[in-house]
Amino acid sequence: MKKWMYMFVVIFVGMAWIGCDDEETYAEQRDKERNAINSFINRDVIIYGSDGEPLIHVGKINVISEATFCAQDSMTNLERNEYVLFENKGVYMQIVRKGAGEKLKDGECKRIICRYTEFNILRDSIQTSNNSPYWQTNPDILDVTNTYGTFTGSFNTTINGGGAMYNYYGSKIVPAGWLMPFTYINVGRQLTADEGIAKVRMIVPHSQGHSDASSNVYPCFYEITYQEMRD
């Protein structure tokens, strides 16, 4: 009897060890995330829509420093496909258009309409988007406040019940990565044919993403537009 009990314990411990060994550590997950981001940056990425047609041509990314970004009047050169790396956050950002209007002033709060496409870099596929007929009349609406240069925001759910981001992830908290562009972009409405609303492209690591990305440690690429909502 003792012999059988001993064998059972050995088998149980062995199975438990194998189970633990198969589980990735947080450090391993972060390494996988970094490798996925580096691969994404260095290959000529084309994101395809559900119909199989090209949706966003990301291209091979040319990374620039914050110092170079500042020297260029906080702009990224589109011809060189530049993205600025904010090293303390791990976020890469390209400003496609600074947009009409003005920057959000200190103490000011504005309601912003956002349209976006979210691409899961680890899974190499579009994860969520409100650029579809279903969400066309229900875009994501952000209530954003500037407090001494720190931007906070929440998804508004009282106007339309919330857009795609809120309904997919169930959180009213705007991802930190989505708020970073407000330091550099203008927030307004298009008044003339020559103007355009603010548009950015970003690589957002899990630490600056939404709760699902944070808990499962994966990075996302975003294309986002920001437009002031009418009163």
The secondary structure of 156-209, three-state, reads CCCCCCCCHHHHHHCCCECCHHHHHHHHCCCECCCCCCCCCCEEEEEEECHHHC
Q: What are the structure tokens assigned to 58, written together?
A: 């990301």
Question: pLDDT at position 5, please?
Answer: 42
- What is the rounded distance in angstroms from the CA atom of residue 48 to the CA atom of residue 144? 31
Each residue's pLDDT, cut to its tens digit, for the chain (231 residues) gives 444 444 443 344 444 433 445 688 999 999 999 999 999 999 999 999 988 999 999 999 999 999 999 999 999 999 999 999 999 999 999 999 999 999 999 999 999 999 999 999 999 999 999 998 889 889 999 999 999 999 999 999 999 999 999 999 999 999 999 999 999 999 998 777 677 999 999 999 999 999 999 999 999 999 999 999 987
Domains and CATH numbers, the chain: 22-228 (3.10.50.40)
Question: pLDDT at position 231, please?
Answer: 73
Question: pLDDT at position 126, please?
Answer: 96
Question: pLDDT at position 22, please?
Answer: 63
- What is the rounded distance in angstroms from the CA atom of residue 25 to the CA atom of residue 220? 20
CB 106 within 8 A of CB 78: no
